[in-house]
Amino acid sequence: MFRPAPRIPDNKKYLNVNPLQLKGDILLLASDIVPLLSATTMIFSIMSDNFQVLIFLSLNGKITRKQEMKCTLPKSIEILERTPDVLIAMLHNLSADWTSGNEGGETWSVFDIVGHLIEGEKTDWIPRMEIILSDKPDKTFEPFDRFAQFEESKGKSLTQLLDEFKRLRNRNIERLRSKNLTDQNSEEKGIHPAFGEITLSQLLSTWTVHDLNHIAQIASVMAKQYKAEVGPWVEYLKILQL
Ligand code: NI
């Protein structure tokens, strides 16, 4: 069956009057469907439960790849140097209910995540940069222990961890600046124990994105402490679906 779609502003009204009958062999979705691609996976599971075949045709909703930045040292440092203050502003003096709860099971709390960032400062980014820039014949990195923080953070307060992270990060940025890295250095390589060859530029951009990743994770763990409290709005809060 072919059902011409109404224009976008009328979609909701139209669907309220003519609810979709979710049953059939083939569902063909065409035209302005790009927002569906970034929707929660729920929509896909509903469709796959009710149709044999699902076809997406993006006719006029062009998916264009956004122009991305090239990694440069000053731009990476812009993020790296402010992360400790971002975390201090976000977390200092919060009730433990926000910072010690996790998402269940083996997932990490805010406290665990800050401990993990400290381990990164001690054993990951700068030591690996130094291996890349060294004259060593074997530039294989030591594997990073993703669970070291559980021992290292024991008995400390979150305030202590935040202070320690800030002190280590400041020291590491000084070490990074002191290398006076050139464009040529950024293509120098090391060996990651799992991925193989990686460049210094990839390591530095990963360090930067790793900060943003864990800031997002911290927001997500905190948001989930109120998951049951938001009632029906849970549907609209993407952070609670992650
Ligand atoms: Ni991490």
Confidence of residue 130 (pLDDT cuts 50, 70, 90): very high
CA of 125 to the centre of ligand 1 (A): 11
184-191 average pLDDT score: 96
| Helical ranges in 134-228 per DSSP H | 149-152, 158-178, 183-186, 200-224
Strand duo 196-199 + 189-192: pairing:
antiparallel
How many Cα atoms occupy the beta-carbon half-sphere of 111 within 13 Å?
Answer: 21
Confidence of residue 232 (pLDDT cuts 50, 70, 90): very high
What is the percentage of the chain residues whose pLDDT exceeds 70? Answer: 84
Does residue 64 register a pLDDT over 70? no
SS3 39: coil
CA of 114 to the centre of ligand 1 (A): 10
What is the percentage of the chain residues whose pLDDT exceeds 90? Answer: 64
Four-way CATH pick for 73-240: 2.60.40.680, 1.10.1060.10, 3.30.410.40, 1.20.120.450: 1.20.120.450
Give the Cβ contact number of residue 173 at 10 Å. 15
Q: Which residues pair with 24 in a beta bridge?
A: 51
Domain positions in the chain: 8-65, 73-240
> For residues 48 and 27, is the Cβ–Cβ distance under 8 A?
no
52-60 average pLDDT score: 68
CA of 1 to the centre of ligand 1 (A): 49
